[in-house]
Every structure is written in structure tokens, then in C-alpha cells.
Structure 1
């Protein structure tokens, strides 16, 4: 008698732990962290959570410290391989690698997979920053440097710290979250010299009109804040804007470093 086993799929990542089948939990670490339970158990649990959060930062910094210059590509996890946005992300990633940069994505399917695939097939560094989600489909197969996170805020820090700019393709709430996080950091001068490029003028037109006609007109943002990002239609335009800017910043940094090493001239 033979026993047949059901294939359990790519599994569920919980930090460094892989879970499959009935081992997959019903709640994520983020949800448990933010739970406002009436129980006083959190008094005893949260100090340990702080150590876990600390470990995520330490592991992320350690994994990416020697990455070198990189550009993040964002977009929907729902994008299918036969959709034009998939090919657009793939081309963006290839061009990014050709300009000498690594590619960072969220490590999942859709646009993220396309970005990692483009980088991998161009013999570049293909980074995936995964996140624990109830419907997580695992790290895509084109990632050659992957880090899995339990907490969104730790993951977001890695996106910003190790990227020289963002290329944002059409996406949903997760994409909007990353986009507005970056815009807020630029607007409040928490980060500088950071280009953000939206790809797909038709897709982003409604959002941009709302920002100009509703948000700016009501005084919720300055009219100039709408100029904190660029909007283009092609991969070539997107990569040129981000990579040219990053090149100039890195050149200026090298020149400044070189000047600081010069011996003082005696008069």
C-alpha cells in the first residue's frame, strides 16, 4: 500500500523559519505586535519582541552592508507574466544592472519577480526583501540575495537605506505604502538626493490629479511637493532618471572623500 502526499507548496516564511501545511499560523508577527488585547501578557512578551525586532535590523544590515549601490523596484504582486507591466519591470531591472546597480524588490511574485528576474538574467545582484504575510507565496526563484522579515518597519528601513532611488510601477496598497513612505521621508528631509520615478502615466494620472487638485489646493501639501517625483512611460526613461541622479551623487561623494584625503599645502 502506498501513501500519497499532497505537495505543500513554497511555504510560509516567519523570519528565518519555514512553515508549511498545518504549521502555518493564522496571525502574523506584525498583527500580534499591534494587538490591543485586554490581557496583561504583553507586559511580559513585548521586551522579548524588542530583541526579535533588533535581530531583524542586525540581520538585515549584515546581509546588505556590502551590497553596493542599488535601486529598488516596486509594483503589484498580482501582475501576471504575460502582462505588459511584467515586461516593463523586467526591462527596468536589466537596464539598472547594465548601469552598474543591484536591484532590490520585495522578493515576491508579479512585478517583484519580474524585477528580480531581469536582474538575475543580466548577471546582476538580485535582492529580495520578503515579508511574513498570511498569503505569502515565498521568495521568488530569481532572488540571489534574500532576507525575510517579520515586521514591515524593519523591511522598509532596508529598502530606503540601501537604495539610491525608487522605480515604482503600477501596484496596490503595498506599492502605495512604499511610495508615500519614501515621499514623506524626502518631503521632511529625513533622506536627501533620492529620486522617485513612477512608471505608467495613465495609471498614475488620477492620483497625481488628486494630489494637485485636492490635496495641494486645500493646503495639505505645498504645490512644490508634487514635484518630488517624476512620471514616465518607459523603462529607459525611468532608469536614466534614477541612475543618472545616483551616478552624480556617488561621483560627488567620491570627490569629497578624495579632497578630504589630500595633504594640506604649507604656505
Structure 2
């Protein structure tokens, strides 16, 4: 009877420790995430991973404490967990790859939260979170894309936000009937009047190609990365409005397949 009573007390205490450990890990994880975000020296990209490590470290020691109450020695527990970890590792190789990829993304930081990226497979969007297993990306249409870390790590990544400035190239096609010099001067005036265009590197407006039905002028300017799309869309509109006002005609393409 005494043994049963001791066993029930032991089970009750163990359950309390387990519940308290899980609750404490969640509280510490939330506090850890908030505390890290206040530090200017820590990238927000690493917050989810560090928070997860803090949570699961507490839970690991909680389980060790519970098992120790039932008389298992620490060395035996570690050996048991090691064997179990090996078996689980073999069964969950893909998951471990995601964890390893998450750690490499954390250390080398090819991407960070808030940066706009594009993968070789075609997915693109703004990185919202890099976790221990998964990376979440918000796409241009507002939908959320979730990728395993291993896919992100093994992919070619184009990061559009990492550098402070970006180049804008706009091809402009005009008719052979148009005055080329007038077109060049008109486009140059538009470029110079746009406040989003950087003076250095020097903007270029050059004829780059003579096609069958059109002359192609390339407009090459630089802007701050944050102004890239505003400048690109604005120049398209301003250039064609100015060319039309100057009497510069767009090329007329004749379909040779029509009889």
C-alpha cells in the first residue's frame, strides 16, 4: 500500500513538473523573442530559431527531470536518448536536413526577414520568417508560401533587397520615321527631371539595336532599391507621354503572315 501511495505521489509530481516545464518553456520562448527584438545587434531573422532552441532546451531538461524521478540514472537516460535520437535521425533524415539548413541560413544569412527574394524554381516574395524547420515568404499577391529550409538552402537565391541601389533598364522602340536625336534628347530630359534617378552612377540613354521595324533605345538608370518600382513605372509613363508630345512615333509592326 505504501509503495502504491509513493508511486502515485511520484506520478503526480512528475505530471506537475511536466506541465510546469511546458508552460515555463512557452513563457520563456515568448519573453526571449521580445527581448531579442529590442537588441539592435541581433538580426530579426534569427529570432524564431533562437526562440525555438530556448523552448526545446527547457523541455528536454524537463523530460530528463521527470525520468530521473523514476530512478533512471542520468547516464542511462543520456545513453537511451542517444540511441533513440540515432533511430529517429535515420527515420527523419529530411527533417534533420531542414534543421541543418536552418542553422546554415542563420550563420551565413543569405536572406533576412523583410528582404525580397526570388528562387531558381520561380517562387518569389518577401521573407517573413526563417524558422528551425520552415521558411515563410509573403508573395506579391499577398498569399503566404511556406518552404522547407532545405529547399531554400539548396536553391539559387536572387536577393533584390540586399544592395542599397538597383539598376533600371527600359527599352524604348521608335519608328524609323522618327528623329533619333530628338528622341534621345527628349528621353534624357525626362531622366534628368526625375528626382528618383541617381546622379551616380551616370544615367545612360543610348541606341542599342536596329530591328526590322524599329529602333531600340535603352534607358539605363540607377535608383535606391526602395524606389525601384516607383521609378520604373513612372519612367515608362513619362517617357511615352514626352515622346508623343515631341511627335516621336511608335513602330508599326506588319504581320507578314497575313495575306
TM interval, shorter chain, is under 0.3
Q: What TM-score do you get using the length of structure 2 for normalisation?
A: 0.23
Taking structure 1 as the reference length, the TM-score comes to 0.23
State the structure with more CA Rg.
2
